[in-house]
Structure formats: structure tokens, C-alpha cells
Structure 1
Amino acid sequence: MTLPESWIAHRREDRELVGWIDPVDGGFIPYDLLGRPRTSAPVDWLAAEELLEELGIGYLADVYALLAEDGDWIRTRIVEVSPAGIGVKEDDFGDIGAAVSTYRVPFPIDDRLVPLAEAPGPVRSRFL
């Protein structure tokens, strides 16, 4: 996907991209790097900026659950984020020598990739 033309990149003071802000209905909707709206209704510009800056990018290092084609949830980590797609890999628990499966999910993120705590069913891992 390409970003909507209306989305305005928002960067922290150190120039790190932390999301986008979309002008909507006289206000602004902030979107994180996974393309998720971070408010349910438009807010003012300053509130949108502050929300994205407070959110930061730390959530990208969290553990996620991916709904596999076989219907199972797999424990994963995000390895790449861009408007072209999101790359995830099976969580190898830091074992850099482990052979792991990798997957692509669309941007913006959909319900196939959720934070681990929000997985609606058991999550499997070959490494547990």
C-alpha cells in the first residue's frame, strides 16, 4: 500500500519517524508505524503530536501473535515496518542461530497480527 496523500509524517526531535497525522473533520487522527489509528475521534494537532511522541517506537520490540494460515496463533516479533508491508519472524527468544519462519502482513496492520496479550486463542512457539 502507499500512504494516503493526506497523511503527514511526524518525527521526534531526533528525526525518528514515529507515525503520521491525518487531517479529518477539522481535527487530526494520529497513526502509529503499524498504520493503526491511535484515537477514535479527531483531536487537535498538538494532542496528535504528543500522543505519537509519547507512544514512541518501543511497541515495535514487543512480542506479537500472528494468525497462521492453518488457524494457529504463532509467537512472533516484528522485523520490518514500512507502508510496503510488515515483516515478522517466529520469536526465537534471542537465539540468532535458530532457523525461524518469516511472514509478511499488509500495512496497515490487520487483525492477523496482534500484541501477544490480545491473542484470542493459544499461541504456539517451537522454542518454549
Structure 2
Amino acid sequence: MTSPSDWIEHRRGDGELLGWMRPHGDGFVVIDLLGRECSGELDWFEAETLIEETGIGYLADPYELRLGGCEWVRVRITEVSVSQVRVKLEDWGDVNVPTVEHVLAFPPGDDLRRHEPHKPGM
């Protein structure tokens, strides 16, 4: 799947794609680079501001991938496009560990989520 034709690209000054705005009612809904809605209905200025403030830094965060429908493993995003999302198993920067990659369709859906560290006592 590619981004729907009614999604409006939003790029920063250097041309880097930050996300999209999807027309909704009298306003727009912000879509991030993983194809996920990030807002309710906003006006154009609010939508642009949210995309700019969100940036692309979240792509560097640790994520979790559900394998086989049940097991969650920690991964890092290595590539995002409107045709696929590529992730690799977390290797903690160890160059001696073989890289294990998974290619997901765009948008990746519920099988990819941000890693939330477990808090002590919870």
C-alpha cells in the first residue's frame, strides 16, 4: 500500500519528508511516517506545527515487533518508505552480531509499537 492520494506531503526546508496531512471535515489529520494518525481534526496551521514539532526523531526510538502473533522482540527501524518499513533486531551496536531484518508492509499496523521500558514495581 502507498500513501493515499488525498494525503498532502509535508516536508521541512531541506526537502526531508516529515509526514502528511489528510483532509478531514473542515480541517486535517496529521499522519506520521509510519502511516499512523497523530491528531484529531486540526486547522492547516496547527497540523503543520504538529508535524514540524514531531519531526523524525521518533524513528530512532526503540520499537517492538510482534513475531508469530504473540512474541514481542525489540527492534530498531532502519528504513521507512510508503511501500515498506524495514526493522532489525536490536543488537545494541555490537558489530559482531549478525543483522536480522524484517520487512513490514506500509503502514506496519499493530505488529510494530514503541518500546516502553518497564518501570520498577509495576
Unaligned runs of 5+ in 2: none
Q: Deviations over 1:4-26 (max 9, x none)?
A: 11001101122211001111111
- Matched residue type, 2:87: V
2:92 maps to 1:93: yes
2:25 maps to 1:55: no
SS in 1 for 2:45: helix
Unaligned runs of 5+ in 1: 120-128
SS in 2 for 1:54: helix
> What TM-score results when the alignment is normalised by the length of structure 2?
0.90
- Matched residue type, 2:31: Y
> What TM-score results when the alignment is normalised by the length of structure 1?
0.86
Percentage of identical aligned residues = 45
Q: Separation in 2 of the partners of 1:84 and 1:114?
A: 18
Instruction: Give the corresponding residue for 1:71.
Output: 70
Instruction: Give the corresponding residue for 1:7.
Output: 7
- Matched residue type, 2:101: T
- Measured after TM superposition, the shift of residue 97 of structure 1 is 3.1
Instruction: Give the corresponding residue for 2:20.
Output: 20
- Measured after TM superposition, the shift of residue 71 of structure 1 is 2.0
SS in 1 for 2:36: coil
Which piece of structure 1 moves more, 101-110 or 58-67?
A: 101-110
Instruction: Provide runs of 4+ in structure 1 moved above 4 Å.
Output: none
Q: Separation in 2 of the partners of 1:83 and 1:101?
A: 22
Q: Give me the CA root mean square deviation.
A: 1.6
SS in 2 for 1:111: helix
